[in-house]
Amino acid sequence: MKFMKNLPKIKDLYIKEIPPNIDIINLAQRYSSDHGTVLLASGGDLDSARFNILGISPWLEIRTKGKTINIKYNNESIDLSHDPFYALKGIINHFKIHIKKYNQPYPILSGLLGYFSYDLKDQIEELPSLSIDDLNLPDILLFSHNYLLVQDKIDKRTHLIMPIFRDKDLIIEPTILDFQHKIESKGFYTDGNLVSNFNKREYMETIDRIKRYIINGDVYQVNMSQRFTSSFFGDEFSLFKTLFYLNPAPFFAYIRSNDHTIISTSPERFLLQKGHYVETRPIKGTRPRGNTIDKDQELLNELKTSKKDDAELSMIVDLLRNDIGKVCKPGSVKVKEHKRVERYKNVFHLISIVEGELSDNAESIDLIWATFPGGSITGCPKIRAMEIIEELEPNKRHIYTGSIGYLSFHNTMDLSIAIRTATIINNKILFSVGGGIVYDSDPLLEFQETLYKAESFFKALQGDKSLEKNKISHHQVWLNGKFQDINNSHVPIDSLAFQYGMGLFETIRVQNNKVYFLEEHINRLKTSWDKIMPIEFPNLSWEEIISEVIKRNRLEDQLVAVKIITGMGSRDIPPYDRIIVVMCKKYLPRVHPQELGLKVCIYPQKRLFPLAEHKSLNYLYYFEAGKWAKKHGFHEAIILNPDGSISEGNTTNILMIKERDVYVPISDYFLNGIMLKKTLEFLKNKNYNIISKKIYPKELFLADEVLMTNSLIGALRIAYIDNKELGQKDSFIYKDINSYYFGV
């Protein structure tokens, strides 16, 4: 491949033994926020948990999505379109080193650390695409590092390994003091809500659908999963450490990228390669640990004697024998051990060990291509099982049931199956749990098994409480007379609200359970409803509904934004199917108290829109204006009329104060805001004159004070327009307005 000529060659390795007592977890924490840091940590004392491997400061990064490949090395970057397996095979061969020269027993001296996502399957097989990719993360993410530390837990030796690309390379070695320096854990927190992409009933119904596929002869087994999502704030590595000490497993991993972080606590090996030796260790069969010695033994015996689990494991063993047999020497593939029990803090697992001898003309990438994704987490037969997974699971799996580990530049590899694995991205954490479904699977037991498997994550994120009642709490909304989880709330796709935006909304400020200007909001909502909707306005006890929504979301003592959404259904005769929603979330002020005021900009797309006088669901223009402002570093966008005069902000009203006069922009169409009305009442009582007139942007720079208002922010002054400071007086009347209405 042509791009290879731009890549350097590894001429030699710098290898130095360092003190064996280095705490590699503590060391990794020191570099845990750096892009490209990868830790592969072995927890527990099983025979597969021997080495800790830490990569720091990548000199090479490989990122693929479909057939799009990006390769970064030092300060260079290459983009190409190619088969990712072919490209990766070429890269590994380009950097190949001869390990005998170094006389080291370590599994890796130089190579690639990172992951292969489950969705890489689409580059191997022709499969349908029916689920949603809501993460937009790479199929492959691999790093090669300037500093590689390998620690042998048995021999108690640790080595620092660095690649040398030129004879005169200067070796800059991190000091031992740096390695031993401890740093305090920064901690993390969530909002306490874990939301699944299935509710319990839906998950059990989906298992019944899989069983119908089995009855019809499509498959023998399908691995089905549900995905949990929660907010996440703080230090990702603190969560890694919590999980590591809570339930150590052989294949822990921490992968830090600039746009996401992977934390894996997997117990399952996918592929081990040492030269020509190949091994895979599928897991099938799980039981929770008992809370007494007798109960523990009872559950262990139940797992050992389970015909269902024995059949599942045997089926997957046969699948994997066939998969590795594609690239192994004939007759070399055999089952080394069958139905071994492995004990973890939360569960028992049944595993088998299958081994083989790699063909002389096969390499690491050939082995991955032949076996990926692992059969233990797809089902049997594999292709039909993957088609059914794509049909039934709503979201692309990404890292879940992909693989994590290393591929060396000297013909070794160790990859885990990415189960018990979380992705942290943009203040959200996501992790999936599942199990193999066969003909005699009990839907309820299968659902409960997913909870047992996720227990470590539940404990780490929410504390040790009752699993089903407290660990899966959801964001509650009120929809058409019923409180329900927001993740399981649905709007009919044939509704006019969905098809044409035929609906209205109000956003209301609530602070310490006090609802501000509710009557005015409902009156405005009703006025617009009566003009637009062909059916009568709903007569509801809005304050009671709002209070209960806030209570169910545990926000009684917070500053809260409540949103009421009303939409037209598909019928204008009884029984109506209109849509009425009340929901809430914690409100975070836009402007820090130390800031002078809002930074706003002029939105370049002028507007003439008759529905602007209603708070309709046709809000895309305003949403785009706000997004444009945020992208350019502003709090709010000023909307202009076609003649260039000011109309309003994308979420606010605007008014201008000059001496004792208050000027309100005249606009053919604009939203007459509740807070604007309250602000004008306040100013009128202070003997200000209220004047409506055409206002152009340049006039704002001549005012004593320019304010933006809405029901959430109250009144705030504008400090900058398009990064030009307004020369305003120090009256700060907006503070008096907010103090009068909100006590702040």
Q: Which residues are catalytic?
A: 268, 284
Which ranges of 638-696 does DSSP label H, i.e. alpha helix? 674-685
CA distances from 453 to 344, 494, 567 (A): 11, 39, 41
Do the bridges between strand 233-234 and strand 188-189 make them parallel or antiparallel, or are there none, so unpaired? antiparallel
Phi first, then psi: what are they for 584, rounded to 5°? -150, 160
Question: Which residues have C-beta within 8 Å of that of residue 16, sequence separation ≥ 6?
Answer: 159, 160, 173
Q: Which two tokens stand for residue 31?
A: 């570099």
Per-residue DSSP letter, 248: -
Phi first, then psi: what are they for 647, rounded to 5°? -105, -65
Q: Which two tokens stand for residue 168?
A: 């005169």
**In whole angstroms, what is the distance from residue 90 CA to residue 5 CA?**
11
Question: Which residues have C-beta within 8 Å of that of residue 416, sequence separation ≥ 6?
Answer: 250, 251, 253, 264, 266, 268, 269, 270, 403, 404, 405
Phi first, then psi: what are they for 641, rounded to 5°? -75, 170
Q: Which two tokens stand for residue 225?
A: 């999963």
**In whole angstroms, what is the distance from residue 583 CA to residue 568 CA?**
18
Per-residue DSSP letter, 650: S
Element of type H or E holding 157? strand 157-164
Helices 518-532 and 674-685: crossing angle in degrees, nearest 10, is 130
DSSP 3-state helix, strand, coil percentages of the chain (rounded to 5)? 30, 35, 35
Q: Contact 403/116 with Cβ under 8 angstroms?
A: yes
CA distances from 43 to 24, 215, 243, 245, 340 (A): 12, 41, 10, 9, 19
**In whole angstroms, what is the distance from residue 499 CA to residue 497 CA?**
6
SS3 state of residue 495: coil
In a 10 Å sphere around its CB, with 0-12 CB exposed, 13-18 middle and 19+ buried, how is residue 9 labelled?
A: exposed
CA 276, chain centre distance (Å)? 38
**In whole angstroms, what is the distance from residue 291 CA to residue 345 CA?**
11
Helices 364-371 and 84-94: crossing angle in degrees, nearest 10, is 160
CA distances from 227 to 174, 216, 576, 706 (A): 40, 27, 34, 47
Element of type H or E holding 233? strand 233-234
Question: Which residues have C-beta within 8 Å of that of residue 215, sequence separation ≥ 6?
Answer: 439
Q: What angle do CA 619, 621, 626 make, to 5 degrees?
A: 95
Q: What is the 3-state secondary structure (H, E, C) of 104-152?
A: CCCCCCCEEEEEECHHHHHHCCCCCCCCECCCCCCCEEEEEEEEEEEEE
Question: Which residues have C-beta within 8 Å of that of residue 23, sequence separation ≥ 6?
Answer: none
709 forms beta bridges with 653, 715
Per-residue DSSP letter, 604: S
